[in-house]
């Protein structure tokens, strides 16, 4: 029993060892720069901005993710700007002036980005309007289905006639013969 426990714990250790080996490899796969920051706040700002800014070359990665040379340059530039004591908005303006609105993963609200910012809300609104219109249409249809007064009158009459004839000939055989008679009349 003890032997088995030992063996299983050994196996466990090996698996953990291998997995940590691989996970550390994954960490190494992302770009590694060594930037030294004077304080923790600048470090956090650097990390936040490099996630917020997009790499102009590899368009689906941010500066923090990308391995491309231009992303490395821009990370360096970002570091320099922060070391110079530039505010976040100044850094963002610096990048936008050179690479356009495109470098922002969250573009600023302007006439060209209205559709991005308000498009989804507009679509939801449109959807709600369509649903409301459809829901409101149904009762109107039901009202239309109801009979008009003159139709009601006619129906009443028909029903009355039926009940009168029914009470007159209560014998089903007679009724059948009457039907037969009717058919023969129609054929003639």
- 127-151 b/e (C-beta count within 10 Å ≥ 16 → b): eeeeeeeeeeeeeeeeeeeeeeeee
Helix (H, G, I), strand (E, B) or coil at 30: coil
The stretch near other proteins (CB under 8 A) out of 4-12, 29-37, 95-103, 179-187 is 95-103
- Tell me the site size for other proteins, rule CB under 8 A: 14
* CA-based nearest residue to 55, from 47, 43, 63, 67: 63
Helix (H, G, I), strand (E, B) or coil at 106: coil
| Complex with other proteins: residue 51 or 76, whichever CB lies closer | 76
Q: Least distance from C-beta 57 to other proteins, angstroms?
A: 5
DSSP state of 57: S
CA distance 161 to 168: 10
Single out the residue of 7, 23, 44, 98 in contact with other proteins (rule: CB under 8 A).
98
CA distance 132 to 75: 50
108 binds other proteins (CB under 8 A): no
List binders of other proteins among 16-75 (CB under 8 A). 56-57, 59, 69-70, 73
| Complex with other proteins: residue 42 or 68, whichever CB lies closer | 68
Q: Least distance from C-beta 35 to other proteins, angstroms?
A: 17
149 binds other proteins (CB under 8 A): no
Q: Would you state the torsion angle of the CA atoms of residues 116, 122, 124, 128, taken in this order, to the nearest 10 degrees?
A: 180
Q: Least distance from C-beta 96 to other proteins, angstroms?
A: 7
| Complex with other proteins: residue 72 or 117, whichever CB lies closer | 72
Q: Which residues here bind other proteins, judged by CB under 8 A?
A: 56-57, 59, 69-70, 73, 77, 96-102
């Amino acid at each position: 029993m003890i032997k088995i426990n030992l063996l299983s714990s050994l196996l466990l250790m090996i698996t953990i060892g291998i997995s940590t080996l691989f996970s550390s490899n994954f960490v190494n796969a992302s770009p590694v720069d060594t930037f030294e920051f004077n304080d923790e706040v600048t470090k956090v700002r650097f990390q936040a901005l490099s996630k917020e800014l997009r790499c102009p070359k590899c368009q689906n990665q941010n500066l923090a993710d990308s391995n491309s040379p231009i992303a490395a340059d821009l990370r360096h530039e970002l570091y320099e700007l922060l070391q110079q004591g530039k505010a976040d908005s100044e850094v963002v303006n610096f990048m936008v002036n050179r690479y356009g609105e495109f470098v922002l993963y969250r573009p600023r609200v302007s006439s060209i980005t209205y559709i991005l910012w308000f498009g989804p809300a507009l679509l939801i609104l449109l959807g709600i309007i369509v649903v409301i219109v459809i829901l409101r249409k149904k009762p109107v249809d039901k009202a239309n289905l109801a009979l008009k007064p003159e139709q009601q009158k006619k129906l009443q009459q028909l029903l009355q006639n039926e009940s009168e004839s029914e009470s007159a000939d209560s014998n089903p055989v007679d009724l059948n013969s009457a039907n037969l008679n009717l058919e023969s009349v129609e054929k003639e």
